[in-house]
Structure 1
Amino acid sequence: MSFFKRMNKKQWIGLVFATVIIFYDMLLYSIIIPLTSYYETTFHASPTLIGILFSSYSVTLLLTTTYFGQLTDRIGRKKPIIIGLIGMTVSTILFAHPLNFEMLIIARALQGIASAATWTAALALIADLFNEKERAIAMGFAITSMSAGTLLGAPIGGFLVEFGGYQAPFYTTSLLLLVTMVLGIFYLKDEERPVIQETSVKTWDLLRQREVLWILAIMVIAEGALTMLEPVLPMYLTEVFDANTIFVGLMFGAMTLAYGIMAPVSGALINKYHPSRVVLTGLLLSGVTLPFVVLAQSTIQLVAALFILGGSISLAVSPTLTMLGNSQSSSNQSSYGTLYSLFNIFFAVAAIIGPFFGGVLTDVFTSKITIIIASGGILLGTLGLWLSSKKVYLQRHRVKSSEANIP
Structure 2
Amino acid sequence: MSREKPYMLEVRASGGMIMTTVAVAVFTDIFLYGVIVPIIPNVLVERIGVPQSSVQKNISIALLAYAAGLLVASPVFGFLADLFQNRRLFMIIGLLGLLGSTILLCLAHVLWIFIFGRLIQGMSGAAVWTVGLALITDSFAENNIGKMMGIVSSSMSLGVFLGPSISGVVYARAGYYALFGILFGLICADLLLRIFMLERKDLERWKPSAENESAVERDIGFVSDNTVSIGNVEPTADRSTLKSQKKKKPKVPVGLKLLKNGRMINGLYMGVIIAWIFTALESILPLHVETIFNWNSLGSGLIFLPIAITSLISPLIGHWIDKHGPRWPLAAGLVIACPFLVLLRLPENGAIGQIVLLFALFTLLGLASSMLLPSSMSEISACVTAAEQDKPGIFGKSGAYGQAFGLFNLAYSAGSVFGPLEAGFVTAAEGWGTTTWTLGLISFVSAVPAILFTGGYLFKKRTSRNIDGQ
Q: Which range, TM-score by smaller chain?
A: 0.7 to 0.9
Q: 2:62 aligns with which of 43, 53, 61?
A: 53
Corresponding residue for 1:379? 444
Corresponding residue for 2:130? 120
Equivalences for 1:346-385 in 2 at 5 Å? 346-385=411-450
- Alpha-carbon distance change, 186 to 273 in structure 1, aligned in 2, over 3 angstroms: closer
Q: Does 1:208 align with 2:260?
A: yes
Shift of 1:255: 2.9
Question: SS state of the match for residue 114, structure 2?
Answer: helix
- Alpha-carbon distance change, 244 to 213 in structure 1, aligned in 2, over 3 angstroms: same
Question: SS state of the match for residue 328, structure 1?
Answer: helix
Q: 2:82 aligns with which of 63, 73, 85?
A: 73
| Matched-pair identity in % | 25
Give the whole-Å Cα distance in 2 for the aligned partners of 1:241 and 1:160: 20
Contact 2:257/2:467 (8 A) holds in 1: no
Corresponding residue for 1:107? 117
TM-score, with normalisation over the residues of structure 1?
0.85
Contact 2:164/2:302 (8 A) holds in 1: no
Question: SS state of the match for residue 397, structure 1?
Answer: coil
Q: Does 1:311 align with 2:367?
A: yes
Corresponding residue for 2:4? none
**Bigger mean CA deviation after superposition, 340-349 or 248-257:** 248-257
Contact 2:63/2:420 (8 A) holds in 1: no
Give the whole-Å Cα distance in 2 for the aligned partners of 1:42 and 1:283: 39
Corresponding residue for 2:228? none
Shift of 1:190: 5.0
Question: SS state of the match for residue 204, structure 1?
Answer: helix
Q: 1:137 aligns with which of 131, 134, 147?
A: 147
1:318-345 residue CA offsets vs partner (Å, 9 max, x unmatched): 2111121111234458211101111111
1:348-397 residue CA offsets vs partner (Å, 9 max, x unmatched): 11111112212222334332133123323322222344345586356693
Contact 1:255/1:310 (8 A) holds in 2: yes
Shift of 1:240: 5.9
- Alpha-carbon distance change, 267 to 235 in structure 1, aligned in 2, over 3 angstroms: same
**Bigger mean CA deviation after superposition, 63-72 or 111-120:** 111-120
Corresponding residue for 1:289? 340
Corresponding residue for 2:305? 253
Q: Which amino acid aligns with 2:342?
A: P
Question: Which runs of no fewer than 5 residues in structure 2 stay unpaired?
Answer: 1-10, 205-219, 225-244, 348-352
Corresponding residue for 1:157? 167
Corresponding residue for 2:31? 27
Shift of 1:198: 4.8
Contact 1:236/1:368 (8 A) holds in 2: no
Q: Which amino acid aligns with 2:320?
A: L
1:38-92 residue CA offsets vs partner (Å, 9 max, x unmatched): 3422321342445433321111110111011101111221111011111111222
Corresponding residue for 1:320? 376
Corresponding residue for 1:41? 46
Question: SS state of the match for residue 392, structure 1?
Answer: coil
Give the whole-Å Cα distance in 1 for the aligned partners of 2:148 and 2:433: 37
**Bigger mean CA deviation after superposition, 27-36 or 158-167:** 158-167
Q: Does 1:270 align with 2:274?
A: no
**Bigger mean CA deviation after superposition, 153-162 or 286-295:** 153-162
Give the whole-Å Cα distance in 2 for the aligned partners of 1:224 and 1:402: 27
Give the whole-Å Cα distance in 2 for the aligned partners of 1:57 and 1:124: 21
Contact 1:124/1:336 (8 A) holds in 2: yes
**Bigger mean CA deviation after superposition, 120-129 or 222-231:** 222-231
Give the whole-Å Cα distance in 1 for the aligned partners of 2:321 and 2:277: 22
Corresponding residue for 2:178? 168
Shift of 1:241: 5.5
Shift of 1:31: 2.1
- Alpha-carbon distance change, 171 to 216 in structure 1, aligned in 2, over 3 angstroms: same
**Bigger mean CA deviation after superposition, 248-257 or 192-201:** 192-201
Give the whole-Å Cα distance in 1 for the aligned partners of 2:448 and 2:35: 37
Give the whole-Å Cα distance in 2 for the aligned partners of 1:182 and 1:273: 37
Shift of 1:168: 3.2
Contact 2:284/2:423 (8 A) holds in 1: yes
Equivalences for 1:6-17 in 2 at 5 Å? 10-17=14-21
Question: SS state of the match for residue 463, structure 2?
Answer: helix
Q: Which amino acid aligns with 1:80?
A: F
Q: Which amino acid aligns with 1:209?
A: N
Contact 1:78/1:190 (8 A) holds in 2: no
TM-score, with normalisation over the residues of structure 2?
0.75
Contact 1:223/1:313 (8 A) holds in 2: no
Q: Which amino acid aligns with 1:71?
A: L
Larger radius of gyration: 2
More helix, by proportion: 1
Contact 2:18/2:136 (8 A) holds in 1: yes
1:291-312 residue CA offsets vs partner (Å, 9 max, x unmatched): 3333466433332222112211
